[in-house]
Amino acid sequence: MEKLALFGGEKTRTRPFPRRTPFGEEEIELVTEAIRSQNLFRWSGRFVSDFERGFAALYGVGHAVAATSGTAAIHLAVGAVNPEPGDEIITAPITDLGSVVPILLQNAVPVFADVDETFNMDPADVERKITSRTRAIIAVHLFGNACDLDALVRVAKKHDLVLIEDCSQAHATRYRDQYLGSIGDIGCFSLQQSKHMTTGDGGMAITDNEVFADRMGLFADKGYRRKGYGPRAYAFLAPCYRMNEQTAAVGLPQLKRVRARVERRMALGRRLAAALADVEGLRCAPTTPGSEHSFWLFPMRVEKWKARDFAVALSAEGVSAGAGYIGKPIFRCAECCASKVTYGESHFPFESRYIEHDVQYDDGTCPEAQQALDRMVTIPFHENYDENDIDDIAAAVHKTARLLPVASS
């Protein structure tokens, strides 16, 4: 009698999945060249500037500004918006804290819009959350699938808001006929180790808006108006997020390869989604109409089982899986929101003369997000998998769905 591996049966997959190998000989050669130059500082080197120009060209925009992380790239964008203390910026409840920290670091208030069936922000709830203090929307393209950008662009234009795209999980991914990141006013990318293209850590912000580009360039460099020798001039309060030459040397070769990586992930993701289409009680997360899905992870919604039970059973079959992604909406995970732990004991900006109402994040803030997380199972995914790997994943999911006891209500 067939049994789940969790209960003593044979594992579906006994050999390890292939390791991801994002770096090659060209990265090694350029990093070596950077180190041999005896200079890793961006302003006296060439690699960061070349990387910025190449990144802008790939996405068909006029400007790119390099940064130290995806969080830093989003901070550049929020810095370009230049909100007043207490202004509001709307973002997603299912995301990394990197989408939220920059809002608070600029003394603005994060507002969270609930999600739709794609796990992405619901444009209708975004519009419901707009107030007279709203300055911008940070649209998070989760797992490599676009938000409904047609609707979000309309909302942003209607209310005269800056639209920032967080493309940390959606490199070289098309929406209609454009790459994500080039559609809103500013696009932000993470280059952290797990991303479609990576420098280990790093970030990039892109825009066609010259005013935003100039401000982001200054914002990444302490507001420093560099003009050679003489008295220094710093334009405004800003951090130091300069990328170094070694990091950019790693990124440059990947500009040529990122789209092929994404296309490979898309082909594998479509194969797995098709193989799982007939699994009763399980749904692969839908792709937003008009969008490609570049599968940073492979997300599923389970209806008949507890997500944790399904993930544990699937992992026992030899296919790594996680339940709930971040577990709770990000404002419940982060004490800077949940308990307003910000600057000393002040709770600023939540408790200040700039806020006229009590800001609370609770179970009623984004109920659909919590329900989605409670039903979410994710499978690690990358371009080094082959078709046999995908078929083994599908077989393990089918077996788990067939044999795992249904959760009692």
Structure confidence at residue 409 (pLDDT): 56
For residue 326, give both structure tokens: 């971040």
How large is the average pLDDT for residues 297-320?
Answer: 97
pLDDT at 229 exceeding the cut of 90: no
Radius of gyration of the chain (CA): 22
Chain centre to alpha carbon of residue 116: 17
Mean pLDDT of 184-196: 98
Is pLDDT at 199 greater than 70 in this prediction? yes
d(CA 34, CA 380): 33
Residue 402 CB-density burial (10 A; 0-12 exposed, 13-18 middle, 19+ buried): exposed
* Average pLDDT of the segment spanning 198-205: 98
d(CA 204, CA 192): 11
Q: How many residues does the chain have?
A: 409
Average model confidence (pLDDT) for the chain? 97
For residue range 135-169, list pLDDT tens digits in order: 999 999 999 999 999 999 999 999 999 999 999 99
User: For position 227, what pLDDT does the model report?
Assistant: 82
pLDDT tens-digit profile of 233-250? Answer: 999 999 999 999 999 999
Q: What pLDDT band is residue 407 in, cutting at 50, 70 and 90?
A: confident
The answer to whether residue 38 scores a pLDDT higher than 80 is yes
- C-alpha 51/C-alpha 254 separation (Å) is 10
Handedness of CA 110, 341, 357, 359 (dihedral sign): positive
| The residue type at 47 | F
Q: Which pairs with CB-CB distance under 8 Å and at least 24 residues apart come from 308-314?
A: 309/404, 309/407, 310/377, 310/400, 310/401, 310/404, 311/377, 312/6, 313/4, 313/5, 313/6, 313/400, 313/404, 314/377, 314/379, 314/396, 314/397, 314/400
Q: How much is the average pLDDT of 7-20?
A: 97
What residues does each domain of the chain span?
25-256
At residue 149, the pLDDT reads 98
Non-local (6+) Cβ contacts of 253 within 8 A are 24, 26, 27, 30
pLDDT of residue 356 exceeding 90: no
Dist CA 75 CA 102 (whole Å): 5
The pLDDT tens digits for 262-274 are: 999 999 999 999 9
Number of other CB atoms surrounding residue 228 within 10 Å:
4
Give the model confidence (pLDDT) of 80-127 as tens digits.
999 999 999 999 999 999 999 999 999 999 999 999 999 999 999 999
Taking residues 52-71, report their average pLDDT: 98
Place of tokens 């409904």: 148
Question: pTM of this prediction?
Answer: 0.97
Question: pLDDT-derived band of residue 230, with 50, 70 and 90 as boundaries?
Answer: confident
The b-or-e profile of 129-158 (16+ CB within 10 A means b, else e) is: bbeebbbbbbbbbbbbbbbbbbbbbebbee
What does the pLDDT read at residue 408? 67
Q: How is the beta sheet containing 376-380 ordered, strand by strand?
A: 282-284, 297-302, 376-380, 322-323
User: The CATH number of 25-256 is which of 3.30.930.10, 3.90.1150.30, 3.40.640.10, 3.40.605.10?
Assistant: 3.40.640.10
**Cα 211 from chain centroid?**
25
